[in-house]
Amino acid sequence: MCCSIIGYCGDDGAAPVLVRGLKRMEYRGYDSVGVATLLPTDGAKDRDGRHDKANENDDNNDNCTKIMIRKGTGKVSDVNAEFGLDALPGKVGIGHTRWASHGKVTNVNAHPHQSSRGGVAIVHNGIIANFEVLRRDLENDGYLFCSDTDSEVIANLLHRHYVQTGDVKESMMRTVCMLEGEYAFVAMFEDDGTLAAARLHQPLVLGVGNDDLFISSDVLGFIEYTDEAVYVQDRNIVIAGGGGATAATTYEIFDFEGSAAEYEVTKVSKEFGDAYRGDYAHFTLREIYEQNQTMLKVNEGAGNGLEEAASLIRSSGGTVYLTGSGSSYNATLVAKYLFSHYAGIGMESIMSSELQFAANSIRRGAVLVAVSQSGESADVLNAVKIARNADCRIISIVNVLTSSLAHESDVVVGMGCGPEIGVAATKSFTSQLVVLYRIMAELAGGVAADALLPDMDDGVKAVAGAVSQVLENPAEIQRIAREIRDVSDIYVLGRGVHYPIAVEAALKIKELTYIHAEGIAGGELKHGPLALMDSSAYVIIINPFDSTYEETLTSAREIGARGAKIIGVSDRASDVYDYWIEVPSMSASAGADFAALYPVLEIVPIQILAYYAALERDKDPDYPRNLAKSVTVR
């Protein structure tokens, strides 16, 4: 399960704080949402005027409990409007947005979950691999289960251990020793309002305010309240707040064995506070339009990582692997071409989810370049683990410098593009490309670098300027989006370094519009894909004026002869195209020869096309169905 979790204790009402945090983190999961709070002892009504009692839409309500739960399926704003999540009373609470992996999307399967005997409620991110065995054991002990999730076992285990020990710390230690898998969870104990959380291979951050504490899967959950954070380490437990003489801002961090853990309170970059839509209709649109600026910030975000990465690759002994998932994997395909063509360094690009099947072929002592926006993708982290077992050195290209991937790396290169909330990668993809170009230029050096670009700084400025021109006038792209609204299949063709961009373009179309889309290598057209070309097909041709131009135009003619509609993405018009998406020229004819940077430019109009086509089809481009931003389960 890839989800957002959050806990709060402090002087303010918990529910409004939790709901605001969940809205900021909704990109992590958005098929259901819920909040639980600990009722005040004065019997106050909630802000809806209802008396405090267990939640009407929760099946775990047979016990007398001070914990009130409201939850339902849908997005945060919709569920909040229906059930009044932010109206719950109390100053201690937990919240959750879900992306389902165990159990269907139903109110019952939504979090939080409470022990069947009351007393403890939890929110959970990740997978409990041995939940079936634990569930049978708990059922034999008289505990009941009402959901299909693996998460309920945590609540019931905690309750059983708390009854046995009367101690939150001991209950947490006993529970985590029984759990297998990858998880982070926050538990709320009703006896005194203590919050307790644990982390194993899933993100967990403690936010430290003046009069309150937050426990979250993401700093976005609390950034508007405090910029002081503790990035909880793996196999650590946090206990926060509590009643009696313990202040709400008291916390303790220890490892799974109970020993005090080392940690530090760090200042979170205020850039995370900018994760809002502003004047844009969607986060995705804002992030597309930020790209002419974010690609210029790569040097700032990368620090010394570019030179360090180049140095480590030079010392690799000639064996370098690239890995990533989704758009990040497509970025590695571009890099594979660039490093070979311009720096003379051969690299093998492997999907992170597939690397486990190639583990025996990984050369010991090689270098693995892992690319990830979040730095928390489970497949990427597993690939790094496999490479570590082969004594490989790890270079990470990551947007979140405090992520698990960054901690596992020898060299970290930051993208510096700021938070990306839209689930489909846009600005992170182009920033990844610019990072890879800059590392490649560091490696190329001398004559090879001069052959590539007179100056990489000039090249990035040139492509950023070209992107600005594309963004300034999207009218033709919007018109094409209307034309493809009802099509069932779209193909995207590219040659050489443009083929990975064709694959990425197809991914964007699939993610945002739900139209079937497929990337095609130009040279493979006659080896199968040509059979699909008829009057119902639309084919996007990525065809800037470089060494691939003429051959790709020939492929377009072959496709057009079969009746398919051709959408050309090029700096040159052609009567072969039924529709033309013009991009500025980056070739020598435009001045300096920046043609090698076409891939950074040519994906942008496809992102815009996918966005507007999604709107034409009445789809939410920020939150594609069945997908989540950071896939933290394998």
Structure token pair of residue 285: 């649109």
Q: By C-alpha distance, which of 71, 63, 65, 34 is closest to 52?
A: 65
Structure token pair of residue 591: 């001045």
For residue 77, give the amino acid letter.
S
Can you tell me whether residue 102 is helix, strand or coil? coil
Q: 467, 460 in Cβ contact below 8 A? A: no
Residue 427 bears catalytic tag:
no
Of the listed 75, 508, 565, 629, which one is catalytic? 629
Q: 38, 193 in Cβ contact below 8 A? A: yes
Q: How far apart (Å, rounded) are the C-alpha atoms in residues 420 and 152?
A: 31
Taking the CB of residue 185, how many other CB atoms lie within 10 A of it? Answer: 32
Of the listed 2, 3, 9, 417, which one is catalytic? 3
Q: Residue 104: left if φ>0, alpha if ψ -120 to 50, beta else—which one?
A: beta
Residue 629 bears catalytic tag:
yes
8-state DSSP, 86:
G
The string of DSSP letters for 291-341 reads: HHHHGGGHHHHHTTHHHHHHHHHHTTTT-EEEEESTHHHHHHHHHHHHHHH
- Dihedral over Cα of 413, 414, 420, 425: its sign: negative
Q: 184, 152 in Cβ contact below 8 A? A: no
Beta bridge partners of 37: 68, 93
Can you tell me whether residue 569 is helix, strand or coil? strand
Q: 303, 415 in Cβ contact below 8 A? A: no
321-354 as b/e: b if 16+ CB within 10 A:
bbbbbbbbbbbbbbbbbbbebbbebebbbbbbbe
Structure token pair of residue 164: 């046995």
What is the set of active-site residues?
Answer: 3, 629
